[in-house]
Amino acid sequence: MSNNWKTYKLGDIANFSYGKMPKKELLGKGIYPTYSGYKYQYKYSEYNCSKGDIIIVARGVGGTGDVKIVKENCFLTNLSIKIDLNQKNVENKFFYYNYFLNTLRYLDSGSAQSQITINDLNKLEIKLPPLQEQKSIAAILSTIDDKIENNLAINKTLEEMAMALYKHWFVDFGPFQDGEFVESELGRIPKGWEVKSVYDIANYVNGAAFKPSELVDEGKYVIKISELNGGITKNTGKSTKEVKQEQIINNGSVLFSWSATLDIFLWDKGEALLNQHIFNVLPNGSLSIETLYFLLKNIIAHFKAIAADRATTMGHIKLSHLKETFLAIPNEIHKQEFQKIIEPIFNQILENLTENQTLTQLRDTLLPKLISGEVRLKEFRESITN
């Protein structure tokens, strides 16, 4: 680390404020997002956050210590703390990159419920380079993050387009309106098509069960629902346990979480072991993996509604629900025609996801090297322009 860095107590260069939890009956009714996952109806200026503000998750289930840069105006609840930094000493994005990846996420007040307090933050010592150097380092890392965000935006557009295509073909039968239709248990469908259950169009392989003793410091990562939602973290377990070949996933695997969180995921983080409560969806000759992905994305809302109707504390679905849900399946010619359209979209989405994994690793590797001086800003700029 360069000798021109200075040490500060965070409380000397920042102000902190807790948010406010709105009344329960007002949650979910408005336009202002909160960092609790709700929308809120009313807007109070003292609890507002603007784009570019720094938020730290103070307490809650998972994520305590995570630092976020606000991407849209939002309402701050009492689960988070807003950090107002003195811009003469520290630049917001540099603070985010440096301490999100290093210090703040490991803070804990030691209470029964894992949490971070303003007192913790006040006492925290941080080291900072000159402001211009902060801005230069943050600019490099922001370029990487901007590319990641751009890939995610492209994928959102591609998925919306693919879902619209699926509905046009498989639900509205748009391309076949001038052809002959026949009656079926689903109503009128194009002649030559057939009706199959969701269960019959693919093989659904549940992940393996892992005992605590089987989670070790080596082997392949074990992927639970938390990894599907939040990615691989320092808390992700590994195992050397032998599992079925179908319980080993890789880039391009289509995963169906059927308990608690019900959703369809396209795996993009390399070879790993699949934990129970998640299906690895495998083609059985009826439909391609690309079509299965968009088909399941289209009908997952139906399964969420089933789970919501169940009088249990943890929503989930059973194989019987897959057997009781029927779809119109195209003939071979129409399958191939749809495949030609949908395969490039699927491949581009997967390519963008895997590129984001590479970019994330680059960012996380580059940050400590920039800070330690192992990689100088001038040398880095020269390397990427040559």
Overall domain count for the chain? 2
In a domain, 376, yes or no: no
312 and 202, same domain (yes or no) = yes
Q: Which of 112, 129, 146 marks a domain boundary?
A: 129
- Taking alpha carbons only, the member of 21, 41, 45, 18 closest to residue 31 is 41
Express each pLDDT in 198-229 by its tens digit.
999 999 999 999 999 999 999 999 999 989 98
In angstroms, rounded to a whole number, what is the distance separating the alpha carbons of residues 218 and 212?
14
119 and 199, same domain (yes or no) = no
212 and 116, same domain (yes or no) = no
In a domain, 204, yes or no: yes
The span from the first CA to the last CA of the chain, in angstroms, equals 26
Residue 183 DSSP SS3: strand
- Taking alpha carbons only, the member of 304, 371, 292 closest to residue 335 is 292
What single string gives the DSSP state of each residue in 236-265?
Answer: --EE-----GGGEE-TT-EEEEEESEEEEE
In a domain, 149, yes or no: no
123 and 198, same domain (yes or no) = no
Task: Specify the higher pLDDT residue, 231 or 43.
Answer: 231
Confidence bin at 62 (pLDDT 50/70/90): low
Report the pLDDT averaged over residues 99-113. 51
Q: Which of 293, 312, 329 marks a domain boundary?
A: 329
Whichever domain contains 266, its CATH number is 3.90.220.20
In angstroms, rounded to a whole number, what is the distance separating the alpha carbons of residues 331 and 328?
10
- Taking alpha carbons only, the member of 260, 279, 271 closest to residue 238 is 271
Q: Is the pLDDT of residue 354 over 90?
A: yes
In a domain, 25, yes or no: yes
Q: Per the confidence metrics, is the pTM higher than 0.95? A: no
Express each pLDDT in 233-273 by its tens digit.
878 999 999 999 999 999 999 999 998 788 999 999 999 99
Q: Which domain holds residue 59?
A: 6-129
Whether 288 contacts 343, CB under 8 Å: yes
In a domain, 80, yes or no: yes
In a domain, 369, yes or no: no
212 and 289, same domain (yes or no) = yes
How open is the CA angle 288-267-353, to the nearest 5 degrees? 100
In a domain, 165, yes or no: no
Whether 106 contacts 98, CB under 8 Å: no
In a domain, 16, yes or no: yes
Residue 370 CB contacts under 8 Å (≥ 6 apart), including other chains: 137, 140, 377, 380
Q: Phi first, then psi: what are they for 240, rounded to 5°?
A: -105, 10
202 and 320, same domain (yes or no) = yes
- Taking alpha carbons only, the member of 96, 57, 64, 61 closest to residue 78 is 57
Q: Which of 300, 329, 358 marks a domain boundary?
A: 329
Mean pLDDT of the chain: 84
- Taking alpha carbons only, the member of 302, 362, 305 closest to residue 327 is 302
Confidence bin at 314 (pLDDT 50/70/90): low
288 and 212, same domain (yes or no) = yes
123 and 244, same domain (yes or no) = no
